[in-house]
């Protein structure tokens, strides 16, 4: 059994091959590793191999490596960003600068469809990457996620406390809802802009794939055809591990 792990800034997600096929994912907070996974992982069947995609600092990764080695006697393998893989060509001038989570999401999206694509990952940050019908990564952007946008206002303005907030309409009638709505609408507008820009460049119909912890929020207000694919980074990790096996 292979275990695939995606360590983000907010959450750590994991799944086995069989669980990925069923769309079944597990997650917990990644703020305090390895404490955060102690209870849930000790109940897991010992895997034969562990593959990790991480955007955290090296000292965080090291703690997780030590836990896996101590509990399972396995040397975990880390995913890496590459120049070309699984039909996708990295568009960065320095390929290693592209986050490994974005790279894995791109190769997973390409495996699902050869169409030109906008790949959106909604987490602590929201990343939006474009890929043409030849699998060339054109490039992308990074912006604060929904929670970070709201937190930036809390920390850098004198707006009164604004816990909560409900998105009922594009025109909110209280401060908290105005901030939550603004955060989601800003991200939707950015995705829609890049989608239409890519559509102007490509002859085929552009596909939009949305993943990540806040994908549901974006999906509810995104005014273009799109597909929510849970665990896209884990799917890409599965592909890269198969290539390296």
**How is residue 223 annotated by DSSP?**
-
Going edge to edge, which strands form the sheet with 117-122?
Answer: 137-144, 125-131, 117-122, 207-211, 227-228
Cβ neighbours of residue 66 closer than 8 Å, sequence gap 6 or more:
34
Cα–Cα distance between 100 and 95 in angstroms, integer? 10
Which residue among the candidates 17, 32, 101, 129 is catalytic per the annotation? 101
Q: Which residue has the tokens 């946008």?
A: 149
**How is residue 25 annotated by DSSP?**
-
The annotation places the binding site for ATP at 6-13, 124
**How is residue 204 annotated by DSSP?**
S
The annotation places the binding site for substrate at 92, 99-102, 175
DSSP H or E stretch at residue 227: strand 227-228
Q: Which two tokens stand for residue 23?
A: 């769309």
Verify whether residue 158 is a known catalytic residue. no
The annotation places the binding site at 6-13, 92, 99-102, 121, 124, 175
Cβ neighbours of residue 4 closer than 8 Å, sequence gap 6 or more:
14, 15, 16, 20, 51, 53, 234, 237, 238, 241
The annotation places the binding site for K(+) at 121
Cα–Cα distance between 7 and 65 in angstroms, integer? 12
Residues known to be catalytic: 101
């Amino acid at each position: 059994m292979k275990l695939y792990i995606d360590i983000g800034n907010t959450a750590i997600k994991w799944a086995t091959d069989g669980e990925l096929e069923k769309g079944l994912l597990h997650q917990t907070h990644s703020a305090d590793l390895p404490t955060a996974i102690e209870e849930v992982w000790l109940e897991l069947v010992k895997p034969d191999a562990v593959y990790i995609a991480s955007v955290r600092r090296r000292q965080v990764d090291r703690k997780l490596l030590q836990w896996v080695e101590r509990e399972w006697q396995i040397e975990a393998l880390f995913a890496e960003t590459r120049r070309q893989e699984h039909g996708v060509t990295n568009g960065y001038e320095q390929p290693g600068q592209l986050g490994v989570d974005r790279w894995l999401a791109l190769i997973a999206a390409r495996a699902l469809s050869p169409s030109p694509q906008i790949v959106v990952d909604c987490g602590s940050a929201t990343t939006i990457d474009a890929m043409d019908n030849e699998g060339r990564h054109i490039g992308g952007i990074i912006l604060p996620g929904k929670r970070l946008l709201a937190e930036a206002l809390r920390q850098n303005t004198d707006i009164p406390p604004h816990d909560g907030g409900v998105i009922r309409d594009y025109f909110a009638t209280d401060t908290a809802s105005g901030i939550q709505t603004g955060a989601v609408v800003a991200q939707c507008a950015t995705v829609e802009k890049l989608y239409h820009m890519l559509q102007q460049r490509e002859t085929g119909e552009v596909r939009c794939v949305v993943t990540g912890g806040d994908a549901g929020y974006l999906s509810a207000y995104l005014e273009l055809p799109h597909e929510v694919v849970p665990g896209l980074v884990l799917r890409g990790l599965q592909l890269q591990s198969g290539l390296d096996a």
